[in-house]
Structure 1
């Protein structure tokens, strides 16, 4: 699976369906995701990136959440910038590599946040950028029974594979290695084979077959309908290509997809796993952690039943409530999002309200707060039927959206937001708290 040597720059955007949003996804430094500054690509570099024989030998996240792309003797760190020689960072290895993976497993501090690079029969393990003592080792000694000359590898978390596991691909075989038990199981997945690279990203698993890719379920090997896709339409920035690339020519559409544009968001919420969602037009931005950064997706990529923008949102009892007009959609949050049977339903039927400018729930609370104009209302979600009661006035004539998390209550209006330590502080405040810039404070954009 070792590819030809690449000497030219290549930028990828792992934001499925949004190849045109390269700068607005995993971005620069700090809150801007540790992925380096943007680099202009010349025609030769673009031709190399978008060639039919493209693809990568291996893809993985490093211990800092930076995506690494390996091809031949080179590696691209993050989504921008030129290729670097592999041995400039890992001098013990003369590329190419066969496979790569990161183990992110806090319960096993000896291997937690280690990056493994596989070549032939051997494996190198790095922690903090340094080769761990005793490496390289034979792959079969490190992971008993796993063969050499692998095609690709990826870590599988317990919520997806029942136990912390590693998946190794070789030809048509998949080898499951249980990290805790040291047990190896061999499976055959006809739908997932010949993976030149594999990666887990934003809770989804991808198998790359050179310029094609497919998404798969890591416990069963099932592949959703419609795959494979061409990576150049989804993951790479290629001229004249891309999922809905015609829309990229519209400046308004581009601004909607740019988290730093300053355009108002219609809704914010945080779910039980501390993921933050920001909704604007037909897009949503999701933050899993500040390390991995904000990522933008089309609404119907995740919630296929939705048509049009989300007006307000909140989370409760491992479910995500998305409100559009007079209807509410309820999705179970787990391995993906599943629409609860019988939904959407009317707002008044489900929540006992007739409308809302903004809605929010606070962590570990069954109380839904509804903002209409300058009034705050409360709904007890544990009751049935539900009804709203007036909580009191707020020092804002109008808000676009609201969110409550561990940092307090946030009310959004245009390009600014106001923070309050609690609902009680909000209703007791005689005037708005000092405004803060949404893009600078929450999205890490330059002032």
Structure 2
């Protein structure tokens, strides 16, 4: 039996309606937070094939980005979350069943004065906030944002933590529309409202390895958390830096330059030029024009240009050390000094000759120990001490050490470290280094400091 023309029209209309509904549902699954109703569209245990609907490389951007208490980066969009750089999408409520996506903001709190709250991960939606630690919901949550963070509005655009040392005190920056609510933990009143300098607010924000990033759509911009200063060269595309997308990535033109890559590769076994540790525990490894932050390894690794932290600094570092909230860099016969505050600021009048400033000439390595004014300078197999409290400064009588060649040296709460080639040697203190008659056990820099497999 052949259907009538009227029946055919009716069936075609039904078919078109079904297709429209299917497209509408699919579109609602992947929209950003600003256009989503937030209705519970997902089962508690979604089927695996549902994750194919979410593509981290699509140009929609993210609703929130944060690290958790294990140092794993999380990217949120709609009802989805990506955990790490290369993982497939999962539903938010599969990990945090107490909350339905999309979320508005997220951050990992830095609150050293309240150890029970330190490093909790906070998720925000509408007027509520959830707190998690070790993957578990903290008792008493969810609660209203106004109760947990008085003075902070609901329906946020984004949020990011700012630890003491990078901000004046442990702080959280909350973004909404054209304003930033600067919330200083432990102060009353805690909130100060400031204007955000960019024309668009941050749809997501994150702190990673001392750097602060504002996401807007598919792009991101780096900024300083105190002055909101934005370096030249931004915005950049998130898909070239923060997530793995086929055929994309920054520095593509240099990938065949293996010499250049070995400088930026912490695991290349290429020697480092210098190491430094300050009284707050910040530890840096220097190689060429780049540096690595080694004490924040839990949150990941990255080779940064020196100018990212020390704007005026360029070229190879011979030695670096800290004293009285200042960081000293020695390059050839010159010394450059930066104030170590919320960010590094060049001291006026530098660089200047190290002979005039420190009473020393060219060297191979230098170090100070925590809260000590005694600077130790190594050249070849000789070591001398300079008391930084004295003026004028001068070296004391040199002594011989068992190391014939030294690339760098550092002293921290674990002792004195001498770096030579791919190895380092640990001494309990300076006296142990001076009295040693033979080399102690050699340790690999790559495996024990830089967390490489070999």
TM-score per shorter chain, which class?
0.7 to 0.9
- Pairwise CA distance, 1:244: 4.1
Matched, 1:71 2:74: no
Q: Give 1:101's match in structure 2, choosing from 107, 114, 120.
A: 107
- Pairwise CA distance, 1:264: 0.6
Q: For residues 423 and 299 of structure 2, what CA distance do their matches in structure 1 show? A: 24
Partner of 2:342: 335
Q: For residues 4 and 342 of structure 1, what CA distance do their matches in structure 2 show? A: 59
User: Do the aligned partners of 2:294 and 2:450 also contact (CA within 8 Å) in 1?
Assistant: no
- Pairwise CA distance, 1:393: 0.7
Are the structure 2 counterparts of residues 238 and 341 from structure 1 closer, same or farther at C-alpha, using a change threshold of 3 Å?
farther
User: Do the aligned partners of 1:268 and 1:312 also contact (CA within 8 Å) in 2?
Assistant: yes
Task: Please show how residues 267-416 of structure 1 align to structure 2 within 5 Å.
Answer: 267-292=274-299, 294-416=301-423
Moved more, 145-154 or 217-226: 217-226
- Pairwise CA distance, 1:340: 1.2
Q: For residues 132 and 214 of structure 1, what CA distance do their matches in structure 2 show? A: 32
- Pairwise CA distance, 1:196: 0.5
User: Do the aligned partners of 1:255 and 1:263 also contact (CA within 8 Å) in 2?
Assistant: yes
User: Do the aligned partners of 2:122 and 2:131 also contact (CA within 8 Å) in 1?
Assistant: yes
Q: Give 1:428's match in structure 2, choosing from 430, 435, 447.
A: 435
Task: Give 5+ residue unaligned stretches, structure 2.
Answer: 1-26, 32-51
Say which structure, 1 or 2, has more relative contact order (CA 8 Å, 6+ apart).
Answer: 1
Q: Which has the larger radius of gyration?
A: 2
- Pairwise CA distance, 1:233: 4.5
Partner of 1:155: 161
User: Do the aligned partners of 1:276 and 1:287 also contact (CA within 8 Å) in 2?
Assistant: yes
Count of equivalent residues: 406
Q: Give 1:129's match in structure 2, choosing from 129, 135, 155.
A: 135
Q: Give 1:188's match in structure 2, choosing from 172, 195, 207.
A: 195
Partner of 2:252: 245
Q: For residues 361 and 153 of structure 1, what CA distance do their matches in structure 2 show? A: 37
Q: What are the Cα deviations for residues 295-328 of structure 1, in whole angstroms up to 9, with x where unaligned?
A: 4211232223233211222222222111212211
- Pairwise CA distance, 1:97: 1.1
- Pairwise CA distance, 1:396: 1.6
- Pairwise CA distance, 1:263: 0.8
Partner of 2:21: none
| TM score, norm. by length of structure 2 | 0.81
Partner of 1:216: 223
Q: For residues 403 and 124 of structure 1, what CA distance do their matches in structure 2 show? A: 42
Q: For residues 314 and 166 of structure 2, what CA distance do their matches in structure 1 show? A: 29
Q: For residues 436 and 185 of structure 1, what CA distance do their matches in structure 2 show? A: 49
Q: What are the Cα deviations for residues 140-171 of structure 1, in whole angstroms up to 9, with x where unaligned?
A: 34434433322112233455555544332221
Q: Which consecutive segments of 4 or more residues in structure 1 shift more than 6 A?
A: none
What secondary structure, in the 3-state scheme, does the structure 2 residue paired with 1:215 have?
strand
- Pairwise CA distance, 1:49: 4.2
Q: For residues 360 and 141 of structure 1, what CA distance do their matches in structure 2 show? A: 47
Are the structure 2 counterparts of residues 134 and 395 from structure 1 closer, same or farther at C-alpha, using a change threshold of 3 Å?
closer
Are the structure 2 counterparts of residues 158 and 252 from structure 1 closer, same or farther at C-alpha, using a change threshold of 3 Å?
closer
User: Do the aligned partners of 1:259 and 1:443 also contact (CA within 8 Å) in 2?
Assistant: yes
CA RMSD in angstroms, aligned pairs only = 2.7
| TM score, norm. by length of structure 1 | 0.82
Task: Give 5+ residue unaligned stretches, structure 1.
Answer: 8-44
Partner of 1:81: 87
